[in-house]
Structure 1
Amino acid sequence: MNYGEGMDGGRCNKKHIILVHGACHGAWCWHKVTAQLRSAGYQVMVPDLATSDVDERRFQDLRTFIHYSQPLLDRLTRLPAGERVILVGHNLGGLNIALAMDRFPEKIVAAVFVAALMPDSVNPPSYVVDKLKKETNMIFWSDTQFGLVGDKDKGTYAAHPSPSEDLALARTLMRPSSLLLEDLASMPVGEGGARKR
């Protein structure tokens, strides 16, 4: 491995990236990005969060946001001492990487929030979702369960304007999801918040 020096002098593998999918998706949604990054020499990990993709559990069986995030947290736990990664989160994955940043600050070089929810460090993690609900007035925010309905529309908006192959993949693999808002609201203020370092 080719290590550089981190900002604080620790070992930093600038070529190690963890991509975290958003709601209703799985690791599959990063397949093109993963291939491009690997061909450019990056080490890429793409965990499926709980109840996503190959994880057969249903989101209704999850009790906490930490359980939902556990596959990501497990990956970070298994990193060798001194190794640091770049986290990239999309959509709801922003909340997952913020939690990971809070739990493993010594293992994170940077975090990239791609069209993602980004909590702060002075409010409960649910604050950013509550604020978005008020600002967007979108019907699917009425409940903590959401997803795309009907086989005809499934993936149409999520993959637009992607090629038809990507739309077919999304229609096949997307699953209902939950924001686990009650659990996020009960988390301590600042936990899972993105802190400026």
Structure 2
Amino acid sequence: MPVDNKINVLVERTDSIVYHAESDLRKDQGKGWIGGNAPDFFDEQDDLIHEGNQKYVFYLTLVHPFKPESMISIFIPEDYEEYLENNIYPNCSIKVIEHPISTESTKERFTNPGLIKHIISDGTLSNDEKSMDQSFLIKVGGNPRLIQNEDYYFTKLREESFSFLFQVDEDGYPETLIHDDYSYPFGFGSLYIFAIIGATEIEHPVAGFWQFS
């Protein structure tokens, strides 16, 4: 990603990068995937993901838009009530982990039974204002498209110098993504990821909060 695009996307926030989910699995792993098995980086990482009796399932992984050697993977608790009650940083129980590029594992230890694997498309640069009216699975940079625009979601994030990095929006789910008899993980909502965004580095991605309609 050219430097000027990074400035437009993460500093001036006039542009954003949008991604979509595609069901054509004959492609390579694209820019990541949603559903399916976790990256093989996590094959022996149960202790990193699970916490005591609280088990987690894999949600998605995205090639870092500004660090092509890295991926950002997201895990959500199996227990919906757990992350419904803990939905705002620093008490957001969604796990966001940056790690080296990995292929999909053959093991199903973290697989979410409610999701059918889809590939995440290449990102396309979009004017941020126009992106607010688009359907997308992931939007990197620009400004977050919020469901509830309340300051308390941002209070602690701002105190600790976190800035918006990307969101995952369930409005962008294909009809083929959710198994029958399963619900949308975020209640037809959106998950917002933040990070410490410096002049040269993007560090410590975290789940800032999630909202539903």
Question: Is the helix fraction higher in 1 or 2?
Answer: 1
TM-score of the superposition, structure 2-length normalised? Answer: 0.29
Larger Rg: 1
TM-score of the superposition, structure 1-length normalised? Answer: 0.30
Question: Is the strand fraction higher in 1 or 2?
Answer: 2
